[in-house]
Amino acid sequence: MLEARNLLDSLNHQTGKVALPNGVASLDVPDSFYYLSPEDSEKVLVDVWGNLPGTGSETLGMLLPSDTTPYDDNSWGVTIEYEEDGYVSDENADDLDYNELLEQMKKDAQEASKQRVAEGYEPIELIGWASPPYYDKTSNKLYWAKEIKFGSQELHTLNYNIRVLGRKGVLVLNFIAGMDQKSLIDSNLQTVLNMTEFNQGSRYEDFDPSIDKVAAYGIGALVAGKVIAKTGLIAAALIFLKKFGVLFIIGIGALFRKIFKKK
């Protein structure tokens, strides 16, 4: 108990205007949340929630609700990252068939699950959309949620995602929560969306086609968690653990078998 209290006391809760470490974006954090630096995020993700060392320091920090502590059973948080792959065009955003995309994502998950089981890992199943993808062309913000089942776990995982499009890359915000917390996340979604903005010069509308790189993928690939490039299929998956071995994942890809925790 003393160790937990000392850890909580060591966290620097930041509110108001917060400049993210990458220098291209900022947060406007209300009193109902607080921001933690990458160093403090490391303490929560590793020391409290049981992730591997380095997990938190690889992020741009975290957002946590002010009415709970990371030790509470109903705790949840939002990790922040930045992927500088270039300007992601939203030209085809209105033409995407997200149900068709979901079916392909389910097939990808099934194939990954077969490989996992063959190597002694827990199976994984993409159940469906917990919230279908929505792209706001005015704010250039994309969000969606997936429901995912690991093995025989009765409580499914909520994989809630926000992507904020910028001039040279995308801010990646991911909620760490369970399906039983979906209504809570839904009620806080707009608040989190409103917090995050690119700085002037790094905004989506600041894109200069004469000098800026264009990403090799579009809106659909952000949702699917993969891109098709000249080198073939590029897939990425990142795991966060939150107490008692419950898995919270970001993305679905062929790398599952290499990085998921073995049974």
Q: Which residue type does 1 have? A: M
195 vs 30: CA distance, rounded Å:
8
**C-alpha 88: how far from chain center:** 17
Matching residue, tokens 């990085």:
259
**pLDDT given for residue 73 in this prediction:** 87
What does R_g of the chain's alpha carbons equal in angstroms? 18
**pLDDT given for residue 115 in this prediction:** 84
HSE at residue 143, side-chain half, CA atoms within 13 A, is 17
**pLDDT given for residue 242 in this prediction:** 53
Q: Contact, 222 vs 88, CB < 8 A?
A: yes
**pLDDT given for residue 237 in this prediction:** 39
**pLDDT given for residue 195 in this prediction:** 96
**pLDDT given for residue 247 in this prediction:** 37
- What proportion of the chain, given as a percentage, has pLDDT over 90? 64
Q: What is the pLDDT of residues 52-74, one digit of tens each?
A: 788 888 899 999 999 999 999 88
| pTM summary value | 0.84
Helix-then-strand count for the chain, H and E: 6, 14
Q: Contact, 164 vs 173, CB < 8 A?
A: yes
Q: Within the chain, which residues score under 50 in pLDDT?
A: 227-239, 243-263
